[in-house]
Amino acid sequence: MSFASLGLNEKLVQAIHECGYTQPTPIQQQAIPLVLKGGDLLAGAQTGTGKTAGFGLPMLQRLSETQARPLANGRAPVRALVLTPTRELAAQVEENLRAYARHTNLRTLVMFGGVSINPQMKALGRKVDVVVATPGRLLDHVSQRSIDLSRIEMLVLDEADRMLDMGFIRDIRRILALLPRQRQNLLFSATFSDDIKALAEDLLNQPEHIEVARRNATAETIAQRFFEVDKGRKRALLSYHIGHHNWRQVLVFTRTKHGANRLAEQLSKDGLPAMAIHGNKSQGARTKALSEFKSGGIRVLVATDIAARGIDISELPHVVNYELPHVAEDYVHRIGRTGRAGSNGEALSLVSAEEKPLLKAIERLIKQTATLERVAGFEPDPNAPVTPLEDTRGGNRGRNGGGQRSGGQRNGGNGGQRNGQRAGGNRSGGNGQRSGQRANGNRSGDGDGPRAGAPRRRSRPQAEHSS
C-alpha cells in the first residue's frame, strides 16, 4: 500500500517521501482515510507507531483544500490545534508537521513554556495555520489575548492519557470551551482508562474507533530483559552493560529528577559521557542534551518519565529501566522509545528486591511473565535486608482527574451541564478565572504545567510534575 493510495495529494506524498517514508504504518493506513472524511476519531496507538503522520497528513490536506476568511482584525485565523503533554513532544510534532507541509502554503507554530512568550506572540502576528502547544502555555496566550481560537476547524489531543496523568483535565476543558462547536476532533491515546473514555464521550461526536496494538501491549519488536541486582549495585551493573556490549546510545529512566542528575554524574565519572533531562532543566539545557544524544556527543541520556515524552530517535537501540516506575503503564511508555516504526530494540530493567511488587504490576499489565536474569559478579545478596520502597508519589491518590459522573453532570471539571452537548460549546464557568490564578495568566512555573488546583487523574511521582 502506498501513501497516494490513501487519498493524499501529490504535494504531501512528495514531502513524506523526502522525509524517508516509503510505506504507511498500520495506524497511518487506518487513520488517514478516516480523517480525510472529516469525522471524529478515537485512536489507540502507542508511541513509535507513526501516529503524527496519521493525523498530521490528512489534517494538512483538509486545511489546504479550503481557504479561511480573515478575522475581524484582518489576520489569518489559526485553523488547527494540536495539544501535547510536554515541550519535547510539542517540538517533535511541530517539526514533523512543518516537514510534511513544506510544499504547501500552510504554516505551523509550536508553543510551550520554559522559554520567553514574546517570540511566540510575535509569530502569531503572522500567518499561522496550525498551532502545536502544551495546555499551560496555550492558556498563557489566551490570557494575553495573543491567540484567537474561535476559528479552529480541527483539534488533536495527542497522548491524551499522559495529559490526564499530568493533571491537565481542567486546562483541557477550559480550552475546549474556547473552541467553536463545529470542528473535527481527533483523540490519540496509548491506553484507555475510564477517564479517557469519559473525555472521549464528552469530546467526540459519533467517532470512528481504531486500535493498532493490544491495549497496554509492548511492541513485538522490543526484546525485554530483566536483571536481578541489589539496589546499591545498579549503577555498576549499568556501567558494565554499556561498556561490555559497547553500547553507543542508551536512554536510561529514573523515577526522580535528583536520581537522574546523580546517575548522569556518576556515569560520566565512570567514563561514560552522560547528561540528564527532566522538568527542572531549562529548555536550553534540555534541547542541548537531546542534541548531544542524537549526534553521539554523549552515550547516555538519563531521563524522568515526563521529560522523555517526545524523544523521537530513529532506531534507538537500547532503553534501560534503572528504576522501575511506580505506575505500570509508564513501563510501556518507557520501552516504547525503542523498537519504533518496525525497528528492533532492546529494553533492560534492573530489578532490586524492593521493586518486586512493581514488577508484578508490570507483568499483570503486559500479560507476560518476566524471567529474572543474573550477571556473574552482580548476583544479589540473599542476606541483604529489604527496605520498603520509598513512595515518591505525594498527595491525594484518588483518580479524580475526570470528575465524578452523575446524571450527566461532571463534578470537578469546568464543563457544567452536559445536556447532550459536545465539550467545547458554551459551558457555565468555562471562561471564568480560577481561584488563586492571576488575571494576566502569569503564574509560578514554566508555563507548561497544569493550573493551580487542577486534579490529577492519578498521583504521579512528585519529582516529575513540573516537566
The pLDDT assigned to 451 comes to 62
Cα–Cα dist 298/445, whole Å: 29
Tell me how far apart the alpha carbons of residues 346 and 342 are, in angstroms, rounded to a whole number: 13
**Beta carbons within 10 angstroms of residue 78's beta carbon:** 23
For residue range 431-460, list pLDDT tens digits in order. Answer: 333 333 333 333 334 556 676 554 444 444
Helix 356-366 and helix 328-335, axial crossing angle in degrees, nearest 10:
70
Residue 409's pLDDT band, with cuts at 50, 70 and 90, is very low
Contact by Cβ (8 Å): 39, 123: no
Contacts of 383 (CB under 8 A, 6+ apart): none
Give the Cα separation of 90 and 245 in Å (integer).
Answer: 34
What grid cell was written down for 369?
511473565
| Residue 307, C-alpha cell as written in the block | 521529560
Residue 397 DSSP one-character state: -
Domains of the chain, start order: 4-211 (3.40.50.300), 222-366 (3.40.50.300)
Q: What is the pLDDT of residues 299-341, one digit of tens each?
A: 999 998 776 666 767 678 899 999 999 888 888 888 888 876 5
Identify the band that residue 395 occupies on the pLDDT scale cut at 50, 70 and 90: very low
pLDDT at position 49 is 77
For 145-175, the pLDDT digits (tens) are: 999 999 999 999 999 988 998 889 999 999 9
What's the predicted TM-score (pTM) here?
A: 0.62
pLDDT confidence tier of residue 342, bands split at 50, 70 and 90: low
More confident residue, 17 or 441: 17
pLDDT in tens, 26-57: 999 999 999 999 999 999 987 777 899 999 99
User: In the predicted model, what is the mean pLDDT of residues 125-150?
Assistant: 96
Cα distance between residue 355 and residue 384, in whole Å:
14
For residue range 74-109, list pLDDT tens digits in order: 889 999 999 999 888 899 899 999 999 999 999 999
